[in-house]
Amino acid sequence: MTQPTQPYKGTRDFYPEDQRIQNWLMQKFSKVTESFGYEPYNGPMLEPFDLYAAKSGEEIVKKQLYHFQDQADRHVAIRPEMTPTLARMVAGKLQELPRPIRWYSFPNLWRYEQPQRGRLREHWQLNVDILGGDRDLADAEALAIAVGIFEEFGARDKIQIRLNNRALVNHVFREQMKISDTVSLALSKLLDAKDKMKPEAFDAGLIALGLDADQRRHLAEFLAADFTTVAQRFDCAGAREIARIFELAGSMGYADVLVFDPAIMRGLDYYTGTVFEAYDVSPENRRALFGGGRYDDLIGLFSKKDALSGMGFGLGDVGMRNFLETHGLLNPPPSVPDLVVTCPEAGLLARALDVATKMRALGFCVLAPTGALSFKQALKQGDRSGSRFVLLMGEEELKQDLYILKNMKTGEQTSLRLDQIASVLGV
């Protein structure tokens, strides 16, 4: 059988350089999220199929979910998103967890979809969720974390967060357009895909849903309205929540990043309140980077004791890397050793390994020798590794219990005792 030479389509091999970038992204994500008091968690990659069949959007379940029968004939699925797992875990210990619950994770997720720029079948995604507490304050905090992440990368001015509210949308659909819940759900999914459709295809979709000319006119007016107009026309909880978030965003210093967009829907069925998507403002990468929203009923599907409301968002690593590359901000610090210890002859190997061990015990990253090397070979190895310093063993220096320390950047070399080397490396 021929062995494959490439990874499965839509997945990636993480060579050391790629993994270094991935680790850097995670460190940045964790730094910002934990500064708001959030704690990390994780869950299994495999979950019962029913977890997603009942809680995720139809497109995910029918078109994108990897699922199969295991050896015990259980119907299982590889996680396409993290929120259902979060809901299951929270419901399992609902009475033990202090409120509000502030959790984050960085799981790898799988969806069977067409690989393209910013989207692969396997990706890693930052998930940030807050459950409980004041709804508006929680929504504003989640948005502040999202803005803070881009600020950490020096890209705050390069994004725009488009905000809407599913309760407001439902109010317009039911009270003004007079359509049923079933048609409302189908219409929200059509609107979620609007930007990917030609105008005539979207109009045909509206007619296929049974919307008459008057209903289509009301929808067009709503989609074209600014928030001032919407707030005046629709006195409902959804509109009041949006107004409150804008007010809180002003207090938290990121109102300039927010804009009301009545076309933002989000495709997942469990969103009930605030929904948002972040967009790159660059014309070279004008696409949605990530999104999220409020889910009121998801925990209640697992627990009859408490229908705890939550708010969260997911930020994928593929889109984030593309965004950072577009703006010249993909610049993780180089991963280089502090010191390369070399050995000129086999008889000195034990001594070289002892030096390397002692330097590591002091907290330095050290490459130890794997054999004897000439001075020229040793320096070449140090240069190739990118190390800041190379330790050489000269015959005369060793007689005085000294070592030659060469600075690979300046070319300067000094003879030092072992206890002096650490102070130089620490510079």
Rounded mean pLDDT, 311-326: 94
Give the gyration radius of the chain's Cα atoms: 28
What is the torsional sign of CA 88, 89, 90, 93? positive
Contact yes or no for 110/67 (Cβ under 8 A): no
- Burial (Cβ within 10 Å: 0-12, 13-18, ≥19) of residue 50: exposed
Q: Give the CA angle between residues 24, 278, 232 to the nearest 5°.
A: 150
List the single range of 162-166, 307-311, 362-366 with lowest mean pLDDT: 307-311
- Burial (Cβ within 10 Å: 0-12, 13-18, ≥19) of residue 68: exposed
Q: Give the CA angle between residues 80, 13, 56 to the nearest 5°.
A: 5
Rounded mean pLDDT, 315-321: 95
The tokens describing 145, both together, are 């974390």
The tokens describing 281, both together, are 């403002």
Contact yes or no for 134/233 (Cβ under 8 A): no
Predicted confidence at residue 24, as pLDDT, reads 97
Instruction: Name the pLDDT band for 239 (thresholds 50, 70, 90).
Output: very high
Does the structure show a pLDDT above 70 at 2? no
pTM of the complete model: 0.89
Angstrom distances, CA of residue 83 to CA of 98, 129, 130, 188, 313: 19, 8, 11, 20, 9
Predicted confidence at residue 421, as pLDDT, reads 93
Predicted confidence at residue 390, as pLDDT, reads 95
Predicted confidence at residue 270, as pLDDT, reads 77
Instruction: Name the pLDDT band for 279 (thresholds 50, 70, 90).
Output: very high
Average pLDDT in the chain: 91
Does the structure show a pLDDT above 60 at 1? no
The tokens describing 50, both together, are 């029913």
Does the structure show a pLDDT above 80 at 422? yes
Does the structure show a pLDDT above 70 at 86? yes
Does the structure show a pLDDT above 60 at 63? yes
Domain boundaries defined on the chain: 16-40+93-326, 339-425
The residue length of the chain stands at 427
The tokens describing 263, both together, are 């076309």
List the single range of 136-150, 292-306, 374-388 with lowest mean pLDDT: 292-306
The tokens describing 201, both together, are 């295809």
For residue 418, give every residue at least 6 positions away whose Cβ sits within 8 Å of its Cβ, in sequence order, or none: 355, 358, 401, 403
The tokens describing 403, both together, are 């070592």
Predicted confidence at residue 375, as pLDDT, reads 87
Return d(Cα 325, Cα 332) in angstroms, integer.
12
Domain 339-425 fold is Rossmann fold (3.40.50)
Contact yes or no for 318/328 (Cβ under 8 A): no
Return d(Cα 340, Cα 376) in angstroms, integer.
14
- CB neighbour burial string for 337-356, b if at least 16 within 10 angstroms, e if fewer: bbbbbbbbeeebeeebeebb
Question: Tens digit of pLDDT for each residue in 185-195?
Answer: 889 889 888 88
CATH 3.40.1280.10 fits 16-40+93-326, yes or no: no
Strands 159-165 and 258-260: parallel
Predicted confidence at residue 305, as pLDDT, reads 64
List the single range of 139-143, 147-151, 373-377 with lowest mean pLDDT: 373-377
Q: Which residue has the higher pLDDT, 60 or 316?
A: 316
Strand order in the sheet with 75-78: 46-48, 75-78, 67-69
Does the structure show a pLDDT above 80 at 144? yes
Predicted confidence at residue 69, as pLDDT, reads 96
The tokens describing 389, both together, are 């310093």
Question: Tens digit of pLDDT for each residue in 280-309?
Answer: 998 877 778 999 999 887 777 777 666 788
Predicted confidence at residue 55, as pLDDT, reads 63
| Amino acid (1-letter code) at residue 63 | K
Does the structure show a pLDDT above 60 at 231? yes
Which DSSP letter does residue 124 get? Answer: E
Q: Which residue has the higher pLDDT, 396 or 59?
A: 396
* Nearest to 381, CA basis, from 341, 416, 415: 341
Predicted confidence at residue 427, as pLDDT, reads 59
Instruction: Name the pLDDT band for 356 (thresholds 50, 70, 90).
Output: very high
Does the structure show a pLDDT above 70 at 54? no
Range picked from 29-43, 48-62, 110-124 for highest mean pLDDT:
29-43
- Burial (Cβ within 10 Å: 0-12, 13-18, ≥19) of residue 411: exposed
SS3 242: helix
Return d(Cα 390, Cα 373) in angstroms, integer.
12
Return d(Cα 240, Cα 141) in angstroms, integer.
17
Return d(Cα 203, Cα 213) in angstroms, integer.
11
Contact yes or no for 240/135 (Cβ under 8 A): no
